Amino acid sequence: MVEIGVYEGDFAVDILKECENISKYYMIDPWKHLADWNKPANQDDDRFEKMFQSVKSKTDFAQSRRVILRGKTVDVIDQVSDGELDFAYIDGDHTLRGITIDLTRVYSKVRPGGFIGGDDFSRTIWSHKTTFEPTMVFPFAVYFAEAVGATMYALPNVQFVMQKTETPQFGFIDLTGQYDDFTIRSHVEPQRMLKLYLGEKFPRLLRSFRSARNLVS
């Protein structure tokens, strides 16, 4: 399998410990500051270097099975052969650009019948302050599944998984009952954007307003 977006490596440690039958575990992450990545997780190079060394140390127990590919997906993914993977897990750059690149480039690496899963399948694109790029795993991953004919599942804890079927057959199966609107318009309506702006600009005022509303209700 491959994990795209290893960061501090806790997920990799758990999987490598619990799934001893995984013969090869690719770990893809640049572990460096990216000037074009506007997300809170973008650290400075010194912090990323310490993180990288920690990840290596934490996964040394499985060094015969791990393959560390340090770099962006577009730079290193072709070191994985087409059709080699049973499973790919994406938890990297959750911007529209990032999820587009990660899903598009990893899809051919997964065998027919294999799976692609991922994190931050959030119903709102505003996972962070509006000064950061929005999180677009949802709905883009659904559109991608439809484009390639994969069967898509929405899972609890903002997770998703899709199966690369032998015969393309798109389906969206919502196991949470929460994903009923696939449009972007509702996220950028003027009223909602104004509310987000005021909440970020005057957080105390917004909290006071909510408290007063709760008292009234």
CA distance 7 to 15: 15
**How high is the pLDDT of residue 197?**
84
Cα 134 to the center of its chain, rounded Å:
12
Residue 214, pLDDT score: 65
Q: To 5 degrees, how large is the angle CA 7–CA 8–CA 9? A: 95
CA angle at residue 6 from 154 to 182, to 5 degrees?
Answer: 25
- What residues are paired with 118 via a beta bridge? 90, 160
Comparing 65 with 217, which gets the higher pLDDT? 65
* Strand ranges, E, within 31-163: 66-70, 85-90, 110-118, 151-155, 159-163
Task: Give the pLDDT confidence score for residue 110 in this predicted structure.
Answer: 98
Beta-carbon count within 10 A of 46 CB: 9
What's the average model confidence in pLDDT over 58-65? 97
For residue 208, pLDDT beyond 90: no
pLDDT, tens only, 69-102: 999 999 999 999 999 999 999 999 999 999 999 9
pLDDT of 217 > 70? The answer is: no
Cα separation, 217 vs 48, in Å, equals 48
Global pTM reads 0.91
Structure tokens at 191: 């009223």
